[in-house]
Amino acid sequence: MPSRLPIQRPLKDYVRDTCLTRSGVVLAQMMGRGLLMTDNTPDVIYCSPSLRCIQTATWVRDMSGCQSLIRVENGLFENFRYPNGVPRFITPLQRHIFPVDKTFRPFLPLETVVGKQETNDEYNERIKMILNAIAEQSEVSKTEKELKVLVVAHASTVDMAVGLMRDKPRKTVEMELDNIAIPVPYCSLAYLKKKGSHWVPVAHQVPPVTYEFLSTKYNHYFVHRP
């Protein structure tokens, strides 16, 4: 468990919106260093509003040498199914301790993401829409330089990014989401490169990290299934 809590707020809020463990911090730091060592320092960073995602994005940013501020995108949050109630995310004021972009306006307002029960198809469509919106930003799509965009979100996002953005899209079905953290462990990274109108996974672009009993390597056969 973490030696201290990053934000002063009621403990019940941490049940709904958890923070990184000490192992999670180390994995995020090592992943950031791996991006730096493989010449993959991100030019732009987007992340889910979850505290653990903002923390991960911050550590990866610092350790990779990235100079870009983090853009908190509500639409990247995982499918809302929380038995303890609606997550109470940290406020914009509390985010000031992290290097977030205060001028960024999310593609989706928070209430449209957590304010209703999504079907699985709606969740797939939302993530696809957000990923495409990120890819179509003028700074990414209309520049001669090939920018590296880092998206920090959830295990299901990794699987959906590979499946939904390819030439023949594949959705993540509801049954596969139940134990998604097993084939897609914490801090897993999928590297996608644009090819025409779709995106192709590039294997071993950034080596996975193994630390004690944890590994960031996702199950290739699961994530790249037809």
Task: Give me the count of residues in the chain.
Answer: 226
Q: What is the DSSP letter of 172?
A: P
Cα distance between residue 19 and residue 138, in whole Å: 33
Q: What type of residue is 153?
A: A
Alpha-carbon 28 to chain mean position: 12
**Residue 166 has which token pair?**
């390819």
Picking from 60, 71, 84, the residue whose alpha carbon sits closest to that of residue 11 is 84
Picking from 217, 222, 216, the residue whose alpha carbon sits closest to that of residue 179 is 222
Q: Record the pTM.
A: 0.93
Question: Which pLDDT does position 143 carry in this prediction?
Answer: 59
Which residues have C-beta within 8 Å of that of residue 47, sequence separation ≥ 6? Answer: 53, 54, 56, 57, 70, 71, 72, 73, 76, 151, 152, 153
Contact by Cβ (8 Å): 106, 65: no
Alpha-carbon 88 to chain mean position: 18
Domain ranges for the chain: 11-223
Task: For residue 10, give Cα distances in angstroms to 5, 73, 77, 88.
Answer: 11, 24, 21, 10
Return per-residue pLDDT of the chain as tens, 226 residues: 888 888 888 888 888 899 999 989 999 999 999 999 999 999 999 999 999 999 999 999 999 999 999 999 999 999 876 655 678 899 888 999 999 999 999 999 988 888 778 889 999 999 999 999 999 886 655 556 788 999 999 999 999 999 999 999 999 999 998 889 999 999 999 999 999 888 999 988 998 988 777 789 999 999 999 9
Question: Which pLDDT does position 13 carry in this prediction?
Answer: 87
Q: What is the DSSP letter of 152?
A: E
Cα distance between residue 139 and residue 68, in whole Å: 13
Q: What type of residue is 196?
A: G
Q: Which fold has domain 11-223?
A: Rossmann fold (3.40.50)
The gap between the terminal CA atoms of the chain, to the nearest Å, is: 38
DSSP annotation string for 178-203 = TTTTTTS-TT----EEEETTEEEE-T
* E strand spans, the chain: 44-47, 70-72, 149-152, 192-195, 198-201, 210-211, 214-215
